[in-house]
Copies of this chain bind each other. A is one copy, B any other.
Amino acid sequence: MSGVWGNKLKISVFGESHSAAIGVVVDGVPAGLKINFDEIKVQMARRAPNGGEFSTPRTEADDVEILCGVMDGVAEGTPICAVIRNTNVKSKDYSQLRDVMRPSHSDYGYKVKYDGFNDYRGGGASSGRLTAPLVFAGAIARQLLKNKGIQVVSHILSVADVKDRRFGTEITAEEISSLKSAVLPLLDKSKEDDIRKVIASARADGDSVGGRIECAVTGLKAGLGDPLFDSIESVLSSLLFSVPAVKGVEFGNGFGITEMRGSEANDSWHYGEDGVLRTLTNNNGGVLGGITTGMPVVFNVAIKPTASIFKEQDTVNVATGENVKLSLKGRHDPCIVVRALPVIEAAAALAVYQFVGE
């Protein structure tokens, strides 16, 4: 059962890259929420391909039609269904790909799973395009969180081997504001040029690059989450790994913590001079035993290099049973890290709302 997720907000995502439309039903939006459609558009636009330097030449409007659940701009409390038409689809590009399996795409697994009846065009239901409904739902979650003083913010932690620095123990309002207004959100802005270059270089070579996104959720009280199966990490990771390009998730120092000794890694509790309880470090990313500590919840994800590249690749034709060469054409992003930022934030917002929603 692929498309239904959640609890406080329950979302049902539907659609494929080349179906008539894609969309989402969002169940559980509290009645009376004045929905900020401008903010939704901002988030959708961050994800949409815009033909810019980090993106595919496709431009898709991602215009959303609200079918129900909203009256005069206000949530009625009943399910909201949002539909995005697939307009800019060039099906002919994909006709050769019925039987030739693109490396690093889900083509083969889908073909087996769905006995060949799946819509193979453009990746079908595993297309990155399906993150648009997620961003829509996430944008609503963000508004609900904002009303509770909770913010979700992210930055590019790396692209290829160009690295930004990590969030510090505290995350300031200035940092949040600066990241939110940046085209390339970085803590260390001096890395902008290197990132542009590494992407441009991959594009020039018909190749692609991946990277990491670090995301923080601020304003969370201590005591959220559940032991065992509904730990903060479990719920967040289950949604983050739904984003097809994500191959790793770590909280706080993550894998880095495995090379520290306990005496270094343990986050000491401390009452500050202001009387506020904090930890002096945040190696655990704001979560202990599945429960928030009151520090920012910080995690980062690995985004693999775009699977679609123009370089010739070795692969197979499953109809003929032959090993073949494949040269992809069409429009593909050399790097999806930038467009993935709002997707990761949306996933984080939806996951966190599970713990603070009514």
Contact = CB atoms under 8 A, between A and B. Distances in A.
Nearest to A162: B259
A266 B275 CA distance: 52
A1 interface: yes
Contacts of A315: 268-270
A32 B253 CA distance: 35
Interface string A230-241: 110111011111
Top 3 closest A-B pairs, CB basis? A106-B289, A112-B223, A109-B291
A341 interface: no
A183 interface: no
9 contacts: A3-B79, A12-B79, A14-B79, A19-B68, A77-B113, A210-B260, A234-B241, A244-B289, A280-B314
For chain A, which range describes its interface: under 10, 10 to 19, 20 to 34, or 35 or more residues?
35 or more
A67 B19 contact: yes
A257 interface: yes
A21 interface: yes
B244 A251 contact: no
Interface string A297-314: 000001111111101011
Given A4-B12, A20-B65, A285-B247, A307 B262 contact: yes
A76 interface: yes
Interface of A: 1-5, 7, 10, 12-16, 19-23, 25, 27-28, 31-32, 65-69, 71, 74-81, 83, 101, 103-106, 108-115, 117-119, 123-126, 130, 158, 160-161, 202, 205, 207-212, 221-231, 233-235, 237-242, 244, 246-255, 257-263, 265-271, 275, 277, 279-280, 284-285, 288-294, 302-309, 311, 313-316, 318, 321-323
A262 B106 contact: no
Contact of A258 (B3, B253, B304): B304
Contacts of A79: 2-3, 12-15, 125
Among A14, A27, A207, A253, the most chain B Cβ lie within 10 Å of the Cβ of A14
Given A68-B14, A222-B109, A265-B304, A117 B31 contact: yes
